[in-house]
């Protein structure tokens, strides 16, 4: 078991948890956090390199590094792991954000407990991405959600109890649908008389869920994951939750946790039930297409920095689900790239907002202005994040969105065309709200003279910001690499039932 590299993605966070329990000073906590998150980052980079080497050597299996250990035999539950290009991209994303997030929470009250919950959350996230057994996947999913309640309720700001409760209940509501759907899939996972299984690969291989059952299970599964992916109209946990969450939690939540939704929709709903996905896509295309512009328009009139960014996330994550539902290789590649891109840039946004809020003690853009002059580093970082968000070439947003648009445009019927153009129009609205914020917050005369005495970023804040900026620029400048990494994943089996290529 321990010879499988993937297991260490769960073991390291657990070891860190243990480490935190032993720590007595903040300094020790920081050391453990930094060492641990660097180990995770190194591990995912090493995994990436090794994965590429294997692929180059001609490895064609769908999932690599697979391993399976019986956990509860009567129900055939295994701890089954395996990764492909998509999961590796997600693991890399998670470890980058945890790394940056550790530095962003350099100074926080009750640090030991904060990091313990944060790392429990990370355990869930990593476990989710490496699992190929639906049951363990769901378990890790829940492990990732619960700490959020405590993190927001304890370390948050503003109406934190309300937000924490709302977030948890809404996501739990989604989980309920999801659980039902997963159990349903389990009971149809094999042909009559066959051994039932939770393993994604085996279920896909068996392809034994009838069309009728798919129609029933797919919407539940998609909605269940879609709640976490901030799909309209189940997105309202996101603005409140983000607004009240502490910096690192916002980063991790928007950067990684919301990706669990998109990843789940792709990996479970789409992958196991392609027929229903193809037939019912139009319903969800309407919802996600609405999400994209709806989120963007809402962001235009918000005045709280975090609300603006939360609504912008609704718009960008809507784009992820939108692209998944287009069900072709190009659009799916775009969806995964959009997950990466949105994860990184939104984490960057939340990190910067946290740093600005830590100085000005307000997030209301009407009360701030001219901050560029006072804190140039944070200002430049914010402009770069904004540019990534509005899709400037050379940063990650552009490549992801363009891949999605080109992919979506492959459908020739009027319905898809119209929604593609609606989604395209978000590039204009995004520019409106991003430039509105940048203009009010950073440019113009200084609004509040108390701000004149504020300082620019400290070294740990710089490190956190630069890590994310470099990642965003790397995707934006070398998209072909990521495209290759992701596309290799899309084996023909995914599309077998649909007859697409």
Partner 1 sequence: MQPVIPIIILALPLTMFLVLGLLGHKMSHRLAGILGTAGMGTTMVLAYIVSFTYFFSGNPSFIDADTHTRLQAVIFNHDWLAFTPSLVIRLGFLLDPISALMLVVITTISFMVHLYSNGYMRDHHGVWETGFQRFYAFLSLFSFSMLGLVVATNIFQMYIFWELVGASSYLLIGFYYTKPSAVSASKKAFIVTRFADLGFLIGILILSFYTGTFNFTDLTSVEVSNGVYQISESTASSVKNIFATSAAPVFMGGSVLTWALVLIFMGGMGKSAMMPLHIWLPDAMEGPTPVSALIHAATMVVAGVYLVARLFPLYLMEEMSLQIIVVVGALTALYAAMVACTQIDIKRVLAFSTISQIAFMMVSLGVARPEFHHGLGYMASMFHLFTHAMFKALLFLCAGALIHAIGSNDYTAMHGLRKHMPVTHITFLIGCLAIAGIIPFAGFFSKDEILTATMGHSTFWYVWMSAVAGLTAFYMFRLYYLIFWWKEHKVPQGHHAPHDQPWTMTLPLVILAVISCVAGFVPMGNLVTWNGHGMFENVNIFTNFAALDWGVASISLAVAIIAIIIATVMYKKENPLPEKMKNLLPNLWRWCHHRFYWDELYMFITHKIIFGCISKPIAWFDHYIVDGAMNGLALLTQKVSYAIRGLQSGNIQMYVWYYLIGALLLGAITAICLI
Residues that bind partner 1 (CB under 8 A): 166, 169-170, 232-233, 235-237, 294, 297-298, 300-302, 329-330, 370, 372-373, 387, 390-394, 398-399, 402-403, 405-407, 409-410, 412-414, 420-421, 424-425, 427-428, 431-432, 435-436, 439, 442-445, 479-480, 483
Which residues are bridge partners to 80 per DSSP?
68
**Crossing angle, helix 329-360 and helix 305-324, to 10 degrees?**
170
Please say which residue, 209 or 327, places its beta carbon nearer to partner 1: 327
CB 311 within 8 A of CB 295: yes
Which residues are bridge partners to 77 per DSSP?
72
CA quadruple 443, 445, 447, 451: dihedral, nearest 10 = 80
State both tokens at 173.
Answer: 């509501």
Please say which residue, 13 or 476, places its beta carbon nearer to partner 1: 476
Please say which residue, 136 or 403, places its beta carbon nearer to partner 1: 403
Supply the minimum distance, in Å, between the C-beta of residue 451 and partner 1.
Answer: 13
CB 403 within 8 A of CB 269: no
**Torsion angles phi and psi, residue 310, rounded to 5:** -65, -45
Q: Which residue reads 């956090």 in tokens?
A: 33
Please say which residue, 154 or 410, places its beta carbon nearer to partner 1: 410
What's the full length of the chain, in residues? 501
HSE at residue 311, side-chain half, CA atoms within 13 A, is: 21
Supply the minimum distance, in Å, between the C-beta of residue 245 and partner 1.
Answer: 17
State both tokens at 481.
Answer: 């690499």
* Residue 429 C-alpha from the chain's centroid: 22
State both tokens at 183.
Answer: 């159990």
SS3 at position 131: strand
Please say which residue, 14 or 422, places its beta carbon nearer to partner 1: 422
Please say which residue, 263 or 398, places its beta carbon nearer to partner 1: 398
- Max distance between CA atoms of the chain, in angstroms, equals 75
The rounded distance, in Å, linking the Cα atoms of 197 and 195 is: 6
Please say which residue, 358 or 393, places its beta carbon nearer to partner 1: 393
The rounded distance, in Å, linking the Cα atoms of 483 and 488 is: 8
Please say which residue, 18 or 439, places its beta carbon nearer to partner 1: 439
CB 355 within 8 A of CB 108: no
Which residues have a Cβ under 8 Å from the Cβ of 54 and sit 6 or more positions away?
64
Supply the minimum distance, in Å, between the C-beta of residue 45 and partner 1.
Answer: 22
Supply the minimum distance, in Å, between the C-beta of residue 164 and partner 1.
Answer: 13
Please say which residue, 176 or 421, places its beta carbon nearer to partner 1: 421
Q: Which residue reads 């960057």 in tokens?
A: 348
- CB count within 10 Å of CB 359 equals 18
Please say which residue, 235 or 267, places its beta carbon nearer to partner 1: 235
The rounded distance, in Å, linking the Cα atoms of 68 and 65 is: 10
């Amino acid at each position: 078991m321990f010879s499988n590299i993937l297991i260490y993605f769960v073991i390291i966070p657990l070891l860190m948890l243990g480490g935190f329990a032993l720590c007595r000073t903040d300094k020790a906590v920081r050391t453990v956090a930094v060492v641990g998150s660097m180990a995770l980052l190194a591990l995912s980079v090493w995994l990436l390199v090794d994965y590429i080497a294997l692929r180059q050597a001609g490895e064609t299996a769908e999932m690599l590094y697979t391993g399976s250990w019986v956990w509860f035999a009567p129900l055939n539950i295994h701890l089954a792991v395996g990764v492909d290009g998509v999961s590796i991209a997600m693991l890399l994303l998670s470890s980058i954000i945890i790394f940056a997030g550790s530095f962003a929470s350099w100074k926080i009250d009750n640090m030991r407990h904060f990091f313990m919950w944060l790392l429990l959350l990370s355990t869930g996230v990593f476990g989710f991405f490496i699992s190929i057994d639906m049951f363990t996947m769901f378990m890790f999913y829940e492990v990732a959600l619960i700490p959020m309640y405590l993190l927001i309720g304890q370390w948050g700001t503003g109406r934190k109890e309300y937000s924490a409760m709302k977030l948890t209940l809404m996501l739990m509501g989604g989980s309920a649908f999801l659980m039902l759907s997963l159990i349903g899939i389990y009971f149809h996972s094999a042909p009559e008389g066959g051994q039932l299984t939770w393993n994604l690969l085996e279920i896909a291989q068996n392809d034994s869920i009838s069309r009728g059952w798919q129609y029933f299970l797919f919407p539940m599964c998609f909605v269940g994951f879609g709640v976490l992916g901030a799909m309209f109209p189940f997105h309202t946990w996101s603005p409140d939750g983000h607004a009240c969450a502490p910096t690192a939690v916002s980063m991790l939540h928007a950067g990684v946790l919301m990706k669990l939704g998109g990843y789940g929709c792709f990996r479970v709903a789409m992958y196991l039930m392609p027929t229903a996905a193809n037939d019912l896509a139009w319903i969800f295309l309407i919802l996600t297409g609405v999400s994209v512009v709806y989120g963007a328009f809402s962001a235009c009139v918000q005045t709280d920095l975090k609300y603006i960014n939360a609504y912008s996330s609704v718009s960008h994550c809507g784009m992820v689900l939108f692209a998944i539902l287009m069900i072709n290789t190009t659009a799916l590649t775009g969806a995964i790239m959009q997950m990466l891109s949105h994860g990184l840039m939104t984490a960057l946004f939340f990190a910067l907002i946290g740093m600005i809020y830590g100085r000005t003690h307000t997030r209301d853009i009407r009360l701030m202005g001219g901050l560029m002059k006072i804190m140039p580093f944070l200002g430049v970082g914010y402009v770069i994040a904004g540019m990534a968000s509005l899709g400037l070439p050379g940063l990650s947003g552009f490549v992801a969105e363009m891949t999605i648009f080109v992919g979506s445009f492959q459908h020739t019927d009027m319905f898809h065309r119209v929604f593609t153009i609606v989604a395209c129009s978000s590039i204009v609205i995004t520019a409106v709200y991003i430039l509105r914020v940048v203009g009010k917050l950073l440019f113009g005369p200084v609004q509040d003279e108390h701000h004149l005495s504020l300082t620019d970023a400290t070294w740990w804040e710089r490190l956190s910001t630069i890590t994310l900026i470099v990642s965003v620029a790397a995707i934006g400048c070398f998209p072909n690499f990521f495209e290759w990494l992701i596309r290799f994943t899309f084996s023909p089996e995914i599309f077998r039932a649909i007859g697409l290529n």
